[in-house]
């Protein structure tokens, strides 16, 4: 059944056999290793029917993560729904770059803007238990999922706020602000292909050049960062220069472009300069 399903999925997926295996693991509630161990068993009828239904959904293009309701990020199994973007491995690069800049015992308050499933905030919060994270999203439905993920992983140092970017009351300046905002150009033909067709458009698309939200975040963050505070944003692989230039023009110090493991521009890190004495 697995092999047949793998062949069936070839026209709709770049990873047909893997998709079939992941869906089968979900049906049988076993790990990948468990699937190998039980590979010669006959499927019971109920499981077989469920598996067929999953394959039928995948054949219509639905992302595997929305069918299983989960996706792994930073070694955490996160719940995802069509209200949240599906966390991407590239975004783990943003987490890694942030952690390089947060001392091990720091007790910083750090903000994650547009948290979605909570992926970035939960990863940082679990790696830096003495830090406090504030995770915002303008989607109340996404925040429900993010809170469930915090509970599931017993992460208690994240506070979730329903807000547009930094539009909430502040009681301090932040040493770090993070975001994986929408950054795809409206009209980009990729939006008609693959998994993104099923993801929330508000988590993907950001104006004619894809830069509207990154620019808004950069402007708002400059007012809310502490001296020397870091802003880290994920961006598209052709946007590194444009994002870094924009940040420098706004008044940030040394905006640096960092690549993902595929060697493509993925994250821009800028620092707020120290306010000059009057």
Interface segment toward ligand GLN; rule CB under 6 A; list 4-12, 140-148, 175-183, 214-222:
175-183
> CB under 8 Å to 193, separation ≥6 — which residues?
none
Residues 2-61, interacting with ligand GLN (CB under 6 A)? none
Which parts of the chain are beta strand (E)?
A: 70-73, 76-79, 109-113, 132-137, 158-162, 174-179, 225-234, 253-259, 265-271
Taking the complex as a whole, the smallest distance from the CB of residue 239 to ligand GLN amounts, in Å, to: 10
Nearest residue to 265 (alpha-carbon basis) of 94, 44, 71, 65: 94
- Distance of alpha carbon 23 from its chain centroid, rounded? 21
What would the x/- binding string for ligand GLN be over residues 191 to 220, using CB under 6 A? -----x-------x----------------
Distance from C-alpha of 204 to C-alpha of 184, rounded to nearest angstrom: 6
Pick 55 or 203: Cβ nearer ligand GLN: 203
The reply on whether position 180 binds ligand GLN by CB under 6 A is yes
Pick 202 or 220: Cβ nearer ligand GLN: 202
* Residues that contact ligand GLN, how many (by CB under 6 A): 8
> CB under 8 Å to 44, separation ≥6 — which residues?
none
Interface segment toward ligand GLN; rule CB under 6 A; list 38-46, 135-143, 179-187, 219-227:
179-187
Which one of 57, 88, 101, 138 is in contact with ligand GLN (CB under 6 A)?
A: 88
Taking the complex as a whole, the smallest distance from the CB of residue 265 to ligand GLN amounts, in Å, to: 12
Secondary element (H or E) of residue 2 = helix 2-8
Q: What is the DSSP letter of 79?
A: E
Residues that bind ligand GLN (CB under 6 A): 88, 180, 182-184, 196, 204, 234
């Amino acid at each position: 059944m697995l092999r047949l399903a793998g062949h069936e999925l070839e026209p709709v997926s770049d990873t047909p056999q893997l998709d079939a295996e992941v869906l089968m693991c979900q049906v049988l509630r076993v790990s990948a290793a468990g699937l190998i161990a039980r590979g010669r068993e006959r499927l019971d009828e109920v499981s077989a029917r469920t598996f067929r239904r999953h394959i039928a959904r995948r054949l219509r293009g639905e992302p595997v993560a929305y069918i299983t309701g989960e996706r792994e990020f930073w070694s955490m199994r996160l719940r995802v729904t069509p209200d949240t973007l599906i966390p991407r491995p590239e975004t783990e690069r943003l987490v890694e770059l942030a952690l390089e800049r947060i001392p091990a015992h720091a007790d910083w308050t750090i903000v994650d803007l547009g948290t979605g499933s909570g992926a970035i905030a939960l990863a940082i919060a679990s790696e830096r238990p003495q830090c406090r994270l504030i995770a915002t999203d303008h989607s109340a439905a996404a925040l429900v999922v993010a809170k469930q993920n915090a509970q599931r992983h017993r992460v208690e140092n994240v506070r979730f706020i329903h807000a547009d970017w930094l539009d909430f009351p502040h009681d301090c300046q932040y040493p770090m602000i993070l975001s994986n905002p929408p950054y795809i150009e409206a009209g980009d033909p990729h939006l008609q292909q693959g998994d993104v067709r099923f993801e929330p458009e508000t988590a993907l698309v950001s104006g004619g050049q894809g830069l509207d939200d990154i620019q808004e975040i950069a402007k708002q963050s400059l007012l809310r960062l502490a001296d020397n505070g870091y802003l880290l944003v994920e961006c598209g692989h052709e946007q590194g220069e444009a994002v870094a230039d924009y940040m420098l023009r706004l008044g940030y110090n040394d905006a640096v472009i960092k690549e993902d493991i595929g060697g493509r521009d993925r994250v821009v890190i800028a620092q707020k300069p120290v306010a000059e004495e009057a």
